[in-house]
Amino acid sequence: MYAKKIIPAALALALVLAAGALSACSPTAGDSATSGATGQSTASAQSGTTAQSGATAKIGVIKKRPELLKDFEIKVPAQRVLELTVQADADKWTASIADPKVVEFIPGSADAAPTFKPLIEEGSTAVVLKDPAGNEIPFTLTVTPGAR
């Protein structure tokens, strides 16, 4: 008797939670990356979450697959970092940054993914990322103010 009431309620709760999770992943009008070559837009690097921990907010890490960065402008808020999601050999990825005052490349390791860390509040620089096989992935990294 109770099972007939609990199962529909559990399904309804699961649907509400799934809808909330999907809406949190939806891009907003300001969430776009523009290709320098074609002018096309795609979802920007501005994904991630903000979690509250007491009085201090932890800013989510922006995670992107490196092959999706090629020839695009990637926007990263100054209070966040861009982490590359690589399958293997995280320590063998390298980056050449045109203006090292804008962003720092932190090489990966066995325990950490390669990461770009903004060094200023606002600015832009050309980046050439190189995978372990030597393939180059050029893109523009633009640091925007704040956390969003």
Q: Over the range 68-78, which residues count as b (16 or more CB within 10 Å of their CB) and which as e?
A: ebeebbbbbbb
pLDDT score of 51 more than 90:
no
Question: What are the tens digits of pLDDT across the range 61-89?
Answer: 999 999 999 999 999 999 999 999 999 99
Express as a percent the part of the chain with pLDDT over 70.
Answer: 61
Is 87 part of any domain? yes
Is 23 part of any domain? no
Confidence of residue 18 (pLDDT cuts 50, 70, 90): very low
| H or E segment and range at residue 128 | strand 123-130
Which pLDDT score, from 0 to 100, does residue 40 have?
A: 35
pLDDT score of 142 more than 50:
yes
Give the total residue count for the chain: 148
Nearest 5°: the CA angle 9, 1, 19 is 10
Is 1 part of any domain? no
Q: Which residue has the higher pLDDT, 126 or 49?
A: 126
pTM reported for the whole predicted model: 0.62
> Measured in Å, how far apart are the chain's first and last C-alpha atoms?
48
Q: How many domains does the chain have?
A: 1
Confidence of residue 41 (pLDDT cuts 50, 70, 90): very low
pLDDT score of 46 more than 90:
no
> Residue 90's domain spans which residues?
29-144
Task: Find the CATH number of the domain harbouring 48.
Answer: 2.60.40
